[in-house]
Amino acid sequence: MGASLKDVARLAGVSVKTVSNVVNDYRHVSEATRSRVREAIDQLGYRPNLTARHLRYGRSGIIGLALPELGIPYFAELAEEVIGAAERESWSVLIDQTGGRGDRERLTSSAARSRTIDGLIISPLALDAEYLAAMRADLPLVLLGEQVGPGTADLVAIDNVTAAREATEHLLSLGRRRIAAIGDQHVSAAGTANVRLQGYRDALAAAGIEFDPELVVPAESYHRPDGAAAMRLLLSLAEPPDAVFCFNDLLALGALRTLLAAGLRVPEDVAIVGVDDIEDGRFSTPTLTTVAPDKAQIAEAAVTMLLERVNGLDAPPREITARHTLQIRESTDLGQSRARTA
């Protein structure tokens, strides 16, 4: 049997109430007493009953995380970060895969409203601003990705316009001038695709290069086969591209496979940049240059904002722009590529 509050109180020489105050992080405990209680907790290996604590406040102790597709490594890696961030705050995470479908996203929100979970972090693809605003009125809510409408709910995202512009500028800095883009989407929920296309176009315009719609290939989904098919289409052009900016890493890996199968060299003949910095791209041949969102910061910020709402924060919707970096690897760096093959 594990140690109890009474055991901790006896060892620390304090009351059970004082131990409870330390465990629940109440302010009105002296640092000396707090330190003594924590030492006793560590020595005895005491673990608080988190379920009882949450029930005391009328909570489940569970937050929801709704993502479009766990088969996309970026979302799986982000989910792992969210679980870790929540666990550090003594909360559990219930994960739902929505497929980006409105019915699934609405079902997730219904579970939240029934208090199965205490709050929801969601990456919505089908829900509109009006629906999300109504959700926010009923439960703590944090959005991931592009803002659906101004002031809809708390939001955490990277600056995708800047990220796409920097990726395209990197290709331009290599002397590439016929730069394609893979991943445009002609649907109402294509917020991320739209802003990444905007960043791509901004970089071309700043370099004095005319936008060529022929070089922009849509992708119904963001998987390897979509990237491979898009690259085959680009290679069939009378003047194929000398570089490609893919809107996620899976598209880039699919495009890379098509290029290598066609006997082309990467980056010598065609340079490639992706987005997401998934683990696969660090082990591909060649390794993949990519925009790397700070997934740990995204998860930490989303969990922190959500728990602040759960704990009663009443404030206008907030936005946090997470960090991103451009990780330059062999798919654009000729020096790294030659070093690998030497």
pLDDT at 234: 98
User: Model pTM?
Assistant: 0.82
- Cα–Cα distances in Å, from 339 out to 179, 267, 287, 331? 25, 13, 12, 13
Instruction: Strands of the chain (E only): list them.
Output: 62-67, 92-97, 120-122, 141-144, 154-158, 179-184, 216-218, 243-246, 271-275, 289-293, 319-322, 324-327
pLDDT at 55: 47
pLDDT at 102: 81
Domains belonging to the chain, first-starting first, are: 5-45 (no CATH), 61-158+294-324 (3.40.50.2300), 160-293+326-341 (3.40.50.2300)
What contacts 17, CB < 8 A, 6 or more positions away? none
Could you give the 3-state DSSP secondary structure of residue 102? Answer: helix
Cα(295)–Cα(300) distance, integer angstroms: 9
pLDDT at 189: 53
- Taken in order 256, 124, 128, 308, the sign of the CA dihedral is negative
What tens-digit pLDDT sequence spans the chain (342 residues)?
Answer: 567 778 878 888 988 778 777 776 666 788 888 888 888 888 887 766 554 454 455 567 899 999 999 999 999 999 999 999 999 888 999 999 998 888 888 777 666 656 678 999 999 887 788 888 888 888 899 999 887 777 789 999 999 999 999 999 999 999 999 999 999 997 655 589 999 999 999 999 999 999 999 999 999 899 999 999 999 999 999 999 999 999 999 999 999 999 999 999 999 999 999 999 999 999 999 999 999 999 999 999 999 999 999 988 999 999 999 999 999 999 999 777 666 665
- Cα–Cα distances in Å, from 253 out to 76, 77, 92, 260, 286? 17, 17, 34, 11, 10
pLDDT at 146: 81
**Cβ density class 10-47: b for 16+ within 10 Å, e for less:** ebbebeeebbbbbbeeeeebeeebbebbbebbeebebe
